[in-house]
Amino acid sequence: MPTADKDGQAFESTLERDLMYLLKFDVTVDKFVSQPVKITYLDKENISRSYTPDILIYHRKDFPEARKKKIILAEVKFKDDLCKNFREYHPKFRAAMRYAKEKDWVFKVYTDAHIRTPYLTNAKFLLGYVNTSLDPIIIESILNRIDELRETDPQGLLASFYTDKWNQAKLLPVIWHLIARREIGTNLHYPLTMSSRIWRMHYE
């Protein structure tokens, strides 16, 4: 039985749920729909079968790096399961590829090797800070300071404002918020720590 997340999106496995975390964190994603279409196809014995892919992913058209991305029809599978049962899945995937091509979409299979990485851990952590309400004056101060420093780390940025740990702790959520909003950059493919290199993001 599918389970729904807090936004009402259904998922059938924890791996699907984890992909949804990544999609929610991806600034190029406009929206996604779980269990979006039912595809019918004929198996090798000419018997009619049906298959429902896991997710349909739409990208934002107002974002330069996403403008040319096609809609993605996606299946989520654990790598071991995919390898073990590929012969069973292959006709379904082939039908999905044909269906996607007719729609000018692309069909992709995501595995735990793609999903369960340090980036996922960072995304799940930072999602809690995306919509935090913060003082715009403090935000501007932090952005101006990181401009002056050019490149630093969270610990160094905090230390440039305060020496006491209490005030540093109050300022830290602002840094996580700005990283989550992509106003401060860092390499999220590595674990996010107080020593991670960070810099100001500038967009044209």
HSE, side-chain direction, 13 A CA sphere, residue 158: 20
* Residue 137 confidence (pLDDT): 96
* Residue 8 confidence (pLDDT): 60
- Rounded-to-integer distance, Cα 23 and Cα 188, Å: 15
* Residue 172 confidence (pLDDT): 97
HSE, side-chain direction, 13 A CA sphere, residue 6: 2
Reported as a single tens digit per residue, the pLDDT across 62-98 is 877 778 899 999 999 999 999 999 999 999 999 999 9
Q: 145-176: b or e for each residue (b if 16 or more CB lie within 10 Å)?
A: ebeeeeebbbeebbeeeeeeeeebeebbebbb
Identify the CA nearest to 15 among candidates 62, 64, 80, 63.
Answer: 80
Q: Any idea what DSSP says for residue 35?
A: S
Reported as a single tens digit per residue, the pLDDT across 2-22 is 665 666 666 679 999 999 999
Q: Which residues contact 120 (CB under 8 A, 6 or more apart)?
A: 18, 21, 22
pTM: 0.88
How many other CB atoms are there within 10 angstroms of residue 190's CB atom? 13
* Residue 7 confidence (pLDDT): 64
pLDDT exceeds 70 at position 104: yes
* Residue 2 confidence (pLDDT): 62
Q: Which residues pair with 29 in a beta bridge?
A: 59
* Residue 68 confidence (pLDDT): 86
* Residue 1 confidence (pLDDT): 54
Mean pLDDT of 176-182: 96
Reported as a single tens digit per residue, the pLDDT across 114-166 is 999 999 999 999 999 999 999 999 999 999 999 999 999 999 999 999 999 99
In this structure, the strands spanning 106-110 and 72-76 are parallel
Sign of the Cα torsion 154, 160, 163, 168 reads negative
